[in-house]
Chain A
Amino acid sequence: SQQGEEDPQALSIQEGENATMNCSYKTSINNLQWYRQNSGRGLVHLILIRSNEREKHSGRLRVTLDTSKKSSSLLITASRAADTASYFCATVPTGGGNKLTFGTGTQLKVEL
Chain B
Amino acid sequence: DGGITQSPKYLFRKEGQNVTLSCEQNLNHDAMYWYRQDPGQGLRLIYYSQIVNDFQKGDIAEGYSVSREKKESFPLTVTSAQKNPTAFYLCASSIDGRYEKLFFGSGTQLSVL
Mark A residues whose CB is within 8 Å of B: 1-2, 4, 31, 33, 35, 40-45, 48, 88, 90, 92, 98-105
Mark B residues whose CB is within 8 Å of A: 4, 6, 33, 35, 40-45, 48, 58-59, 88, 90, 92, 98-107, 109
Further 20 A-B residue pairs, CB within 8 A, beyond A43-B102, A100-B45: A33-B102, A40-B88, A40-B107, A42-B105, A43-B43, A44-B104, A45-B101, A45-B103, A48-B101, A88-B42, A88-B43, A90-B43, A92-B100, A99-B45, A99-B48, A99-B59, A99-B99, A100-B33, A102-B43, A102-B44
Min distance, Cβ A40 to any Cβ of chain B, angstroms: 7
Residue numbers in B under 8 Å from A2 (CB-CB): 42
- Residues B45 and A105 in contact, CB atoms below 8 Å apart: no
Residue numbers in A under 8 Å from B106 (CB-CB): 41-42
- Residues A100 and B42 in contact, CB atoms below 8 Å apart: no
For residue B35, which residue of chain A has the nearest CB?
Answer: A102
Number of A-B contacts (CB under 8 A): 60
- Residues A105 and B107 in contact, CB atoms below 8 Å apart: no
- Residues B41 and A104 in contact, CB atoms below 8 Å apart: yes
- Residues B100 and A104 in contact, CB atoms below 8 Å apart: no
User: Which 7 A-B pairs rank lowest in CB-CB distance, beginning with the nearest?
Assistant: A42-B104, A102-B42, A100-B99, A102-B43, A43-B104, A104-B42, A42-B106
Residue numbers in A under 8 Å from B102 (CB-CB): 33, 35, 43, 45, 100
Residue numbers in B under 8 Å from A44 (CB-CB): 104
Give complex CA distance A99, B94 in Å: 12
For residue A31, which residue of chain B has the nearest CB?
Answer: B100
Min distance, Cβ A28 to any Cβ of chain B, angstroms: 15
Q: Given that A31-B100, A33-B100, A98-B99 are contacting pairs, would A43 and B90 also be in contact in the complex, using a CB cutoff of 8 Å?
A: yes
